[in-house]
């Protein structure tokens, strides 16, 4: 199928997101004369200079997602990060210069954040970050708001993507798709139902979690590291936040957990979240036409998935 966006298409999308962010910022009373795109992958991230405000505009979304879907998720992210900032947790907080709510403009749903200067000379230490995630989990346990069980797994997205891939032999081999669908049938009940999860993994407590690999989403600011990008914040097992990172990162997290008086990671739950994480990789394949470079990120993970036991080796 010839539906892959061209470089010209991608440039137009970025320009449209930038224009929408600037217009929305000005509508909210911000002075914007030198807006700059800071990042452009799944979202276009714009600094509304000289205002100390950054706008994140999601641009690569599942085709089936309704317009309200990102806004609902964005509200949860804004609420959680505002609460964490109020508790003294080092996060990138929502901007105090505009109302704390998603803004819709020109078909985009966007959020506004405080601008933080990045320390571009600092190399990320993902093992150290993994230990730090236990500090974040300790802080998040007291969050009083309501969060959906494992919404970070996006079961609707996974199910829809696996169905759509039947028409995309250019993106996935039939044998791989057959395996992914069989694994999803085996594991889906424990993603969809909290009761099913708790019956399968007794004694595993659930709590607010970051949802999107927090060791990879710690921002190196000039004044210190900050947790960021809580777009998939959920209720779930802490193991979810370490999915796919490997034994060194898991051991580092356990050190942080011991320091915070939290339980260590559970091996069975790790197998479960790793297996779901791999299925989410497969589920991202239908997004490749919207973001062709994504295939370069997915291929190594798909090759690794082929070498793993079916459904993570869980008896399901």
What confidence tens digit (pLDDT) does each residue in 197-220 have?
999 999 999 999 999 999 999 999
* pLDDT of 306 higher than 70: yes
Identify the band that residue 167 occupies on the pLDDT scale cut at 50, 70 and 90.
very high
> Same domain, yes or no, for 26 and 75?
yes
* pLDDT of 183 higher than 50: yes
Which pLDDT score, from 0 to 100, does residue 67 have?
41
> Same domain, yes or no, for 232 and 168?
yes
Judge whether 85 lies within some domain. yes
> Same domain, yes or no, for 163 and 106?
no
> Same domain, yes or no, for 78 and 143?
no
**Bridge partner list, 111:** 56
Which pLDDT score, from 0 to 100, does residue 23 have?
98
Cis amide linkage into residue 50, ω under 30° from 0: yes
* pLDDT of 168 higher than 70: yes
Which pLDDT score, from 0 to 100, does residue 315 have?
67
* pLDDT of 1 higher than 70: no
* pLDDT of 66 higher than 60: no
> Same domain, yes or no, for 218 and 284?
yes
Q: Tell me, what CATH number does 253's domain have?
A: 3.90.1200.10
* pLDDT of 68 higher than 60: no
% pLDDT > 70, the chain = 97
Alpha carbons 205 and 264: distance in angstroms, whole number: 11
- Give the tens place of pLDDT for each residue, 245-270: 999 999 999 999 999 999 999 999 99
- Give the tens place of pLDDT for each residue, 216-233: 999 999 999 999 999 999
Judge whether 266 lies within some domain. yes
Q: Residue 146: how many CB atoms within 10 A of its CB?
A: 9
Judge whether 200 lies within some domain. yes
> Same domain, yes or no, for 185 and 223?
yes
* pLDDT of 175 higher than 90: yes
Domain end point (choices 114, 144, 168): 114
Q: Residue 212: how many CB atoms within 10 A of its CB?
A: 18
Q: Tell me, what CATH number does 94's domain have?
A: 3.30.200.20
What are φ and ψ of residue 27, in 5° steps? -60, -30
Q: How many domains does the chain have?
A: 2
Identify the band that residue 62 occupies on the pLDDT scale cut at 50, 70 and 90.
confident
Judge whether 278 lies within some domain. yes
Q: Are 40 and 56 within 8 A, CB to CB?
A: no
Ramachandran assignment for 208, one of left (phi > 0), alpha (psi -120 to 50 degrees), beta (any other): beta
**pTM of the entire structure?**
0.94
Judge whether 121 lies within some domain. no
> Which whole-number Å values give the CA distances from 233 to 127, 128, 189, 220, 297, in the listed order?
21, 21, 20, 20, 23
Alpha carbons 296 and 151: distance in angstroms, whole number: 26
What would the two tokens of residue 133 be? 């995630």
| Burial annotation 124-135 (CB, 10 A radius, 16+ → b, else e) | eebbebbbbbbb
Domain end point (choices 93, 114, 135): 114
Q: Residue 141: how many CB atoms within 10 A of its CB?
A: 14
> Same domain, yes or no, for 90 and 239?
no
Judge whether 110 lies within some domain. yes
Q: For residue 22, what are the domain limits?
A: 7-114
**Bridge partner list, 113:** 54, 94
| Mean pLDDT computed over every residue of the chain | 95
Which pLDDT score, from 0 to 100, does residue 64 have?
60
Which pLDDT score, from 0 to 100, does residue 2 have?
76
Judge whether 119 lies within some domain. no
Which pLDDT score, from 0 to 100, does residue 316 have?
60
Q: Are 296 and 281 within 8 A, CB to CB?
A: no
Identify the band that residue 108 occupies on the pLDDT scale cut at 50, 70 and 90.
very high
């Amino acid at each position: 199928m010839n539906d892959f966006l061209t470089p010209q298409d991608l440039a137009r999308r970025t320009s449209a997101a930038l224009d929408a962010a600037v217009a929305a910022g000005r509508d909210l009373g911000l002075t914007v004369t030198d807006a700059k795109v800071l990042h452009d992958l799944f979202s276009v991230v714009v600094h509304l200079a000289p205002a100390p405000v950054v706008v994140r505009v999601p641009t690569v979304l599942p085709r089936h997602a309704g317009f309200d879907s990102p806004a609902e998720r964005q509200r949860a992210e804004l609420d959680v990060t505002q609460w964490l900032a109020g508790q003294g947790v080092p996060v990138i907080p929502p901007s105090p210069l505009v109302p704390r709510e998603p803004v819709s403009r020109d078909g985009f749903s966007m959020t506004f954040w405080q601008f933080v200067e990045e320390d571009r000379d600092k190399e990320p230490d993902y093992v150290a970050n993994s230990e730090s995630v236990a500090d974040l989990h300790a802080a998040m346990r007291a969050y009083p708001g309501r969060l959906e069980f494992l919404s970070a797994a996006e079961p609707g997205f996974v199910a829809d993507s696996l169905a759509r891939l039947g028409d995309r032999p250019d993106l996935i081999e039939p044998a791989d798709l057959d395996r992914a669908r069989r694994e999803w049938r085996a594991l889906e009940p424990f993603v969809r139902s909290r009761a099913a999860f708790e019956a399968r993994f007794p004694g595993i407590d659930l709590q607010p979690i970051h949802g999107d690999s927090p060791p990879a989403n710690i921002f190196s600011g000039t004044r210190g590291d900050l947790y960021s990008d809580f777009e998939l914040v959920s209720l779930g097992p802490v193991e979810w936040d370490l999915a796919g990172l490997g034994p060194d990162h898991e051991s580092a997290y356990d050190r942080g957990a011991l320091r915070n008086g939290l339980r260590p990671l559970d091996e069975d739950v790790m197998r479960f979240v790793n297996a779901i994480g791999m299925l989410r990789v497969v589920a991202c394949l239908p997004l490749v036409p919207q973001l062709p470079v994504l295939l370069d990120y997915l291929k190594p993970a798909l090759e690794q998935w082929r070498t793993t036991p079916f459904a993570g080796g869980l008896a399901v």
